[in-house]
Structure 1
Amino acid sequence: MTNKRKVIGAKRDKDGNITGVLLEGNVNFISSEKAHEMAKKGIVDLVAVETKNNKYIRTRPDGEKGNNLDEMADD
Structure 2
Amino acid sequence: MNDAQHNSQIETIAAIIVKDGISLDEQEEKKLKKYHDLVKKQFHLQDELAIELVNEAFLYLKLKGAESADPLQHGDQFGAGFS
TM-score, normalization: structure 1? Answer: 0.33
TM-score, length-normalised on structure 2? 0.31
Q: Could you say which structure has the higher strand fraction? A: 1
Relative to its length, the structure with more helix (as a share) is 2
Question: Which has the larger Rg?
Answer: 2
